Structure 1
Amino acid sequence: MTQPTDKPELPGTGIRVLIVDDDEAHAQAVGESLERVGYECTVAGSGEGGLKLIEKENYDVVVTDLRMGEIDGLTLLRRTKEELPDAEVILLTGHASVQSALAAGQAGASMYLTKPLDIGELRASVEKASTRVRLIRQNTELARRLNEKFGFEGVIGNSPSMRKVIDQLKHVSNMNTTVLILGESGTGKELVARALHQNSDRKNKPFVPVNISAWPESILESELFGHEAGSFTGAMSKRIGKFEYANGGTLFLDEVGEMPVDTQIKLLRVLENRRITRVGSNDEVDVNVRLVAATNADLKESVSSGKFREDLYFRLNVVRITLPPLRERVADIPLLIDHFRKLLSDNHGREVPNISRAARHALVTYDWPGNIRQLKNTLESMLV
C-alpha cells in the first residue's frame, strides 16, 4: 500500500503580499495568479488605499503600480520603507524610462517590472523578494537565539583572568574597531567573537565566520571577496564573498595567521579603503564590516619570519583580547561543567546524569591541553 505523503509546500506559503493598482481588475488578476502558488494576497485600488493598509497591517512584499493618483508608486514605496522597513517592494509600470527606473532603485525598490506583465516573470520576482524576506526573518530569529546563547552571560567564567576578558568585551563591543583575539586552540575564540557581535549595534546584521586554514590558497580570495562569472575555471556565475555577505555586520577570520601573503595584501587594502574587488573584476564595492580576527599562532614571530605582514599585524592588533588556557583558570571548571550539563540536557531533551564528586575532582585536576572544547567533548561522552 502506498503511504500518504505530505503535499509539497508552495513557494508563497507564509508570505503576505499587498497589490496596489488603480486598475483593480489588473490587481485582482495579479493577486489570483500569486494565490495559486500559495501567497496570501490583499488588493488595494489606489495609492491612498494601499497607504492605509501598510499603516495598520504587516506585509512582506508590496507590488505597486508606478503611475496612480495623488499617491503614486514612488510615494507608496517610500512610505512602505518607513512603515515596513523589512518589506520588499516591486514597482510595475506601463511607461518605463531610465529616470523612473533610477528613482525606483534609489528609493529602495527590489525590482522594476514593465506592463503588460509576464506572469512567470512576476512570480519569479515575488519569489526572489520572498527569499530575501525569509532570510531577514531567519537572521532575526538567529540573532534572538544567539543573544540568549552568546551574550556576555554565555562567556562562562568568574576567575580574575576571565573577568578581565568580559570587562574588555563590554568596553569594546560597541566600537567599530578591529579586534584581535589570541588564545590556544579550543579556548573559545569564536564564542568570544560572537559575544562581541551580539552585544554590538551590529547584532541584527550577519555574523560571518571564516576559518582561513580550511580553504586552499586558490579558493580563499574568492571565498572572501567573491568572483565574477568566468573569472577562473569553474566560476560559472557571479558569487558574492564573505565580506559582502557580512555587510553591516561582523566578519570573523579565524586562524588569520594562516593567511597567504598575497591575500594579506588584499585584506590590508580592504581595511584601509573599506572596499573590496571581486576576483575577475576591476570594480570596487563598498563594504561596512567590523573585522574580528583570531589566531593561536604567535603573530609577532610570524612577522619576524616574514610569514605575516607587519602592516597588517598593526591593522589587526588595534584591540587585543587574550584568552587564558583552561589550565590557568581552574576555578572556572566547575562553572563550565554545570553550564555544559545544562546545554547537553537542553540539546538532548532529557536530564543528564549528575557527576560524582570523584569525577568532578578528576575533571578539575586534569590539565586540558584541548581546553574548553576538549572539556565539552569529554562531558558529552561521559553523560550522553
Structure 2
Amino acid sequence: MNRTLKQQIMLIDDDQDLLEEIADTLELAGHRVMSFERADLALPHITSQFNGVIVCDIRMPKMNGLELLDHAINLDPELPVIMITGHGQVAEATMAMKAGAYDFLEKPVAPERLLATLSRALEKRQLAQEVRALKGRVGEDQLSARLIGNAKSTQQLREQVATLTPLNVDLIVRGETGSGKDVIARALHDLGPRGQGPFVAVNCAALPETLVDSAFFGHEKGAFTGADQVHVGYFEAANGGTLFLDELESMSLNFQVRLLRVLENREITRLGGSKNIKLDMRVVAAVKGELDQLVKAEKLRADLVYRLNIASIDIPPLRARKSDVELLFMHFCERAASLHQREVPQLSAPLRHNLTRYDWPGNVRELKNAAERFVIGLPLQWSKEPLQNQGAELGDLPLDDAVGAFEKSYIEQALTHHRGNVTQTAEALGVPRKKLYLRMKKYNLDKAHFDTNG
C-alpha cells in the first residue's frame, strides 16, 4: 500500500539502550521514529490524528504500558499499539491483548519480527485514516448538498453544523420563518450518530393545549375517557433518535416546566401509568426571534433556555446572503422541473436582477415557491412589495444585460402585437425572419405563447 502521508512510529521504553537499539533498527529500515523514555512524556503526542503506530514496553515506572494503552485506545480505538513484554510475561501480554493491543513482542525483540509486525500495523493504520478521511469528505458533501451556497455566512453555518453534528448535546436553532430550521435539524440527525434512529418533528404551534400532555407523554389504555388503547407519545417515539421541537416559543410556560423536567431526568411516565420509561434522545428546539426577547416577553422560560442552549445555531436570513439566491433558485428550479417533468426556463437578465434585489421576507421557503411557479409558467408573486418596473432597473444592470433585457422586451411586445406571427413581426422590426428566429431562440421565446387565436 502506498503511504501518501508520512507515518511515524512512537517508541516508548525506559531501557535507554534497548530504546536506542530499536530506534536504530527502525530508522535503518526507513521509518520515522519518535522516542520517549517515559510514557507520560508521550501522552501529548498521542491524538486521533496521529498517523502511525505505538510500540511500548509494559513495565515502566510512573506510568506503565497498560495505562498508556488504555489512554490510547480510549482516545482512538483504531490506533495500533504494540506491546513489548519480558521473557515469560504471558499474563501481562494476555492482559494487553484483551485491553486492545494490536500485538505483543517478547524480549529480546527480533528485528525481523519487529519490522514485519510494524508493516502490518502501519498498513492497518493507513487504511483506517483513509477511510476516516473519506467518511469526512462524504459528510461534507452531504452537508453541502443540504445547505447550499457559497456566501461566507453559509460556509460558516455548514462549519457550525459539522462541528455540532457528532455531539450528543441538546441545542437551539434560531432563525426567521422559512429560513430552514427544519433542514438544519434534519442534517444534525441524519449525518450524526443517531442517524439510524427515529426523527420526530413536532410543530408545537399546531398542538391544542388540551392535547399537549397526551401528545408528548403518551397514555395508557383507560387513562381518560376515549383512551381506548395505549398511545406512545413524542418523547417515547423519539427514543434512540432526535426530537425536533419547531416553534418552541408557542408552547405554554406550564408545559415548558414539564419539558425541562424531562430534559433533566431523561425519563417519563405515560398518563395513567406508573412505569418510568428511560429516554435516550437528542432534543433540537427551533425558535423565531432573539432568545432574551422571547424570555422577556414570557414566551420562553429562562431556565429552559439555559438547559437547551448548551449549543446554538443562528441561521442567517436570505437577505444577508444575496450571493446564494440565484444558486438556490436554480437548485429549486431543477427539483421542480423534475417533479413536474418540465424543462427549466432560461433566466432573463431582469429576473436574475430581481432575485438578488428582493429582500425575501419568507426566506428560503418563499424562494422555493417562487422557483416552482417559474418552472410551471406562473408569474412570480412577491410577498412583501412589488419590485420596481423593469425600465427603472435597467440603469443598475451591466450594459450587455441591459441591452439584452431591452431587446427581449421589444421582441415580446412586437410578437404580442402581431399575435405570434413571425413574418409580420420580422417585417415590423425590419430584420430577416432567420435573424428573428435566432433571437427568439436566444431568449427562449415561443411564438405559440403569443398566438391569442389558439
Q: Normalising by structure 2, what TM-score? A: 0.50
Aligned to 1:235: 227
| Aligned CA distance change for structure 1 residues 150 and 261 (closer, same or farther; 3 Å) | farther
Q: Supply the distance in 1 between the matched residues of 2:297 and 2:176 (Cα, whole angstroms).
A: 20
* Alignment match of 1:196 (pick from 166, 184, 188): 188
| Aligned CA distance change for structure 1 residues 342 and 149 (closer, same or farther; 3 Å) | farther
SS of aligned partner of 2:256: helix
Aligned to 1:267: 259
Aligned partner of 1:281: which letter? G
Aligned partner of 2:368: which letter? K
Aligned to 1:249: 241
The structure whose Rg is larger is 2
Percent of paired sites with the same residue: 45
Answering whether residue 359 of structure 2 is matched by residue 345 of structure 1, we say no
Aligned to 2:427: none
Aligned to 1:154: 146
| Aligned CA distance change for structure 1 residues 332 and 247 (closer, same or farther; 3 Å) | same
Pairwise CA distance, 1:149 = 11
2:332–2:371 Cα contact (<8 Å) kept: yes
User: 5 Å matches for 1:25-64?
Assistant: none
* Deviation sequence 1:335-379 (CA, Å, 0-9, x none): 101211121122223433222222111111111111110111111
Pairwise CA distance, 1:280 = 2.2
Pairwise CA distance, 1:266 = 1.3
Aligned partner of 1:249: which letter? G
Aligned to 1:184: 176
Aligned to 1:325: 317
Aligned length: 238
Pairwise CA distance, 1:247 = 1.2
Structure showing greater relative contact order (alpha-carbon pairs closer than 8 Å, 6 or more residues apart): 1
1:150–1:198 Cα contact (<8 Å) kept: no
SS of aligned partner of 2:277: strand
* Deviation sequence 1:296-315 (CA, Å, 0-9, x none): 13332232243422111111
| Aligned CA distance change for structure 1 residues 297 and 216 (closer, same or farther; 3 Å) | farther
Q: Normalising by structure 1, what TM-score? A: 0.59
2:243–2:282 Cα contact (<8 Å) kept: yes
Pairwise CA distance, 1:150 = 6.9
Answering whether residue 365 of structure 2 is matched by residue 373 of structure 1, we say yes
Q: Supply the distance in 1 between the matched residues of 2:232 and 2:312 (Cα, whole angstroms).
A: 29
Aligned partner of 2:305: which letter? Y
2:143–2:158 Cα contact (<8 Å) kept: no
Q: Supply the distance in 1 between the matched residues of 2:202 and 2:242 (Cα, whole angstroms).
A: 11
Aligned partner of 1:228: which letter? E
After superposition, the CA RMSD in angstroms is 1.9
* Deviation sequence 1:231-277 (CA, Å, 0-9, x none): 23322211001121111111100001111112111111111111122
| Aligned CA distance change for structure 1 residues 152 and 253 (closer, same or farther; 3 Å) | farther
Q: Supply the distance in 2 between the matched residues of 1:308 and 1:291 (Cα, whole angstroms).
A: 16
* Deviation sequence 1:16-64 (CA, Å, 0-9, x none): xxxxxxxxxxxxxxxxxxxxxxxxxxxxxxxxxxxxxxxxxxxxxxxxx
Aligned to 2:291: 299
Q: Supply the distance in 2 between the matched residues of 1:260 and 1:323 (Cα, whole angstroms).
A: 25
Aligned to 1:215: 207
Unaligned segments of structure 2, at least 5 residues = 1-138, 377-454
| Aligned CA distance change for structure 1 residues 149 and 212 (closer, same or farther; 3 Å) | farther
Aligned to 2:278: 286
Aligned partner of 1:284: which letter? N
